[in-house]
Amino acid sequence: MINVGIVGYGNLGRGIEAALLQTSDMKLAGVFSRRNPSTVKTRTDVPVYSMDDLLNHKDEIDILVLCGGSATDLPVQTPALAENFNVIDSFDTHAKIPEHFASVDAAAKKGGNIAIISCGWDPGMFSLNRLYANSILPEGSDYTFWGKGVSQGHSDAIRRIEGVADARQYTIPVDSALEAVRSGSAPELTTRQKHTRECFVVAKEGADLAKIEKEIVEMPNYFSDYDTTVHFISAEEMARDHSELPHGGFVIRTGKTGLNKEHNHVIEYSLKLDSNPEFTASVITAFARAAVRLHKEGATGCKTVFDIAPAYLSPLSGEELRKKML
Amino acid sequence: MINVGIVGYGNLGRGIEAALLQTSDMKLAGVFSRRNPSTVKTRTDVPVYSMDDLLNHKDEIDILVLCGGSATDLPVQTPALAENFNVIDSFDTHAKIPEHFASVDAAAKKGGNIAIISCGWDPGMFSLNRLYANSILPEGSDYTFWGKGVSQGHSDAIRRIEGVADARQYTIPVDSALEAVRSGSAPELTTRQKHTRECFVVAKEGADLAKIEKEIVEMPNYFSDYDTTVHFISAEEMARDHSELPHGGFVIRTGKTGLNKEHNHVIEYSLKLDSNPEFTASVITAFARAAVRLHKEGATGCKTVFDIAPAYLSPLSGEELRKKML
């Protein structure tokens, strides 16, 4: 039995808690929180401990799932904890992955532990599909589309605008762009051609709606490069229609083979997810199993999804896998 | 530079020859044939040798790609050659994979070599996607659809009917079944509901067309469980419209997460291939690179796609992969 500790009990932590219930070889040993443990109630009556007590539970835990944020939590937590525990995180600041990898790798090697970073679906399953498809078709073009789904970063950006009480932003891939890519014509697509952004906003009483809309659609980095639509709705509509966190997307590679490049091929991987945090947690749970197995074989250091042979993810034996899934 | 030998110069062997031209770290050392080498002309002027000379070229070859058939060639060739070479094959008789694995594993271990069996897209990339999706979503349903594409086994079965000069059979997934699966409703689908079969037949002069059609649609195992349509065409139409070997398909897993299984997820992987043998060859080429790397690290024995960490497939370094694809 693999004993898992959750560090940080937000949406992702609750997703890990639920995902572990679907395994027969893994269980939740405890939740560790920076909040006062007496104020945190888990959904499955698992004990909650203070982060300060973590080292006292070292012997009860085979791996820690770090559920903090990529901006400030994980760059500190993952290397710090990798010295004493096997760890896995979902660090998703793409540009800073090399730096994060280096600091986590040093810590994990020092402690003789395994750390997996940047696990989830992007980075994660989408990255894996980019790697497989690029290895198979060296001459081709890559495309990643996201959505339809809620972008928390874009929703937060809207919430910071004066007069906004609440907001939800959906990223939507453009169907005609997807079809152009699938045709194998290898189109060059601008940011605007690939995705649209749809915003649902609850305004504070008396707020200037036209001003809010203008601030959204003209916001640099977040919205100005996209065709953006803004809908003002009531707090009740927000609660009724936009309380979930769906997401998904498409990774497509098109490429050519043959002595004269006469044959086209399209490799497509897509996800349609009702719950982004629960699916991310499900991916992390499978890779946590792999991390503990690798550690038992004597491996140490930082790994990514690229470094894990797929058989390690499954509770089935190699023999069962070859019989049932090959 | 990884030196590759091709054993058997049919469609798949020619696909390997073309795929190697798209790599910068691999090259074709020679083709080995059971035919008289002087009668075999490669498309890129690579030397052709007799199979009987294979052992004389042992030092020039890092891995042999075995391009024979699963029925009679590979069960004998793969274990025999794994004693002296790293080898990779596309053995696709699903029911006999455990047996094939055992005999190849023993031979490869005896010789201190690596063997990869059952590589391609199904078995191969489709198997990998079944494994990843099952590991992520333990509670769910699996679906594999094939096509639209040419089934060589079904085409051959038609060609054996009296009065048939030539035939091409397309396996076609049923759109409504695909949509039902994607909806997450986890439908139970019969063989007939999942695929239709479309046959193009060139009849010999004076043949009884009605009798041929009846024999096709009623043929057990091959056609009787499907809705099958038969078109009689001329030899010219066959040559003009049906000379390619396209194929593809879909691997879909739907599953539920959440404490009350309240969230649905759909994972879909699909391939749309202009040339089945060239794509299969491209997959094998990437895994051949992995096999040689594993062997250099000291690994031996039989492996499948499940046992290979994805990073081994790419010519890029771990650092480059993390930077560009994660």
Distance of CA B145 to the CA centre of its chain: 15
Q: pLDDT digits over A248-303, tens only?
A: 999 999 999 999 999 999 999 999 999 999 999 999 999 999 999 999 999 999 99
Q: What is the pLDDT of residue A263?
A: 98
CB-nearest to A325 from B134, B263, B264 is: B134
Q: Return the pLDDT at A173.
A: 98
Hey, which residues 132-161 in chain A have their CB within 8 Å of chain B? Answer: 132, 134-139
> Tokens representing B292?
């040689």
Closest residue, chain A, to B133 (C-alpha): A283
Q: Dump pLDDT digits (tens) for A251-263.
A: 999 999 999 999 9
Answer yes or no: are the C-beta atoms of B235 and B166 closer than 8 Å: yes
Query: What is the model's pLDDT at position A157?
Result: 95
What is the predicted pLDDT for the residue at B184? 92
Query: How is residue B121 annotated by DSSP?
Result: B
User: Any chain A CB within 8 A of the CB of B279?
Assistant: yes
Q: What confidence score (pLDDT) does residue B88 get?
A: 98
The answer to whether the Cβ–Cβ distance between A269 and B272 falls below 8 Å is no
Nearest to B307 among A182, A267, A309 (CB): A309
Q: Which residues of B touch A273 (CB under 8 A)?
A: 263, 265-266
CA A64 to chain centre: 17
To the question of pTM greater than 0.95 for the whole model, the response is yes
Cβ-Cβ contacts under 8 Å, B44 against chain A: 259
Closest by Cα among A253, A258, A249 to A141: A253
User: CA A199 to CA A167: how far, in whole Å?
Assistant: 7
Contact B146, B169 (CB under 8 A): no
**β-sheet bridge partners, residue A264:** A256
Report, as an integer, the average pLDDT of A78-92: 98
Distance CA(B17)–CA(B24), nearest Å, equals: 13
Tokens in use for B82? Answer: 């794994």
Total Cβ atoms within 10 A of residue B265? 25
Chain centroid offset of residue B170 CA:
16
A26-35: average pLDDT:
97
Give pLDDT, residue A20: 98
Of B279, B323, B325, the CB nearest to A134: B325
CA distance A244 to A228: 21
> pLDDT per residue over B108-142, tens digit each?
999 999 999 999 999 999 999 999 999 999 999 99
Give the mean model confidence (pLDDT) for residues A127-134: 98
pLDDT in tens, chain B (326 residues): 999 999 999 999 999 999 999 999 999 999 999 999 999 999 999 999 999 999 999 999 999 999 999 999 999 999 999 999 999 999 999 899 999 999 999 999 999 999 999 999 999 999 999 999 999 999 999 999 999 999 999 999 999 999 999 999 999 999 999 999 999 999 999 999 999 999 999 999 999 999 999 999 999 999 999 999 999 999 999 999 999 999 999 999 999 999 999 999 999 999 999 999 999 999 999 999 999 999 999 999 999 999 999 999 999 999 999 999 99
Contact of B102 with chain A, judged by CB distance below 8 Å, is answered with no
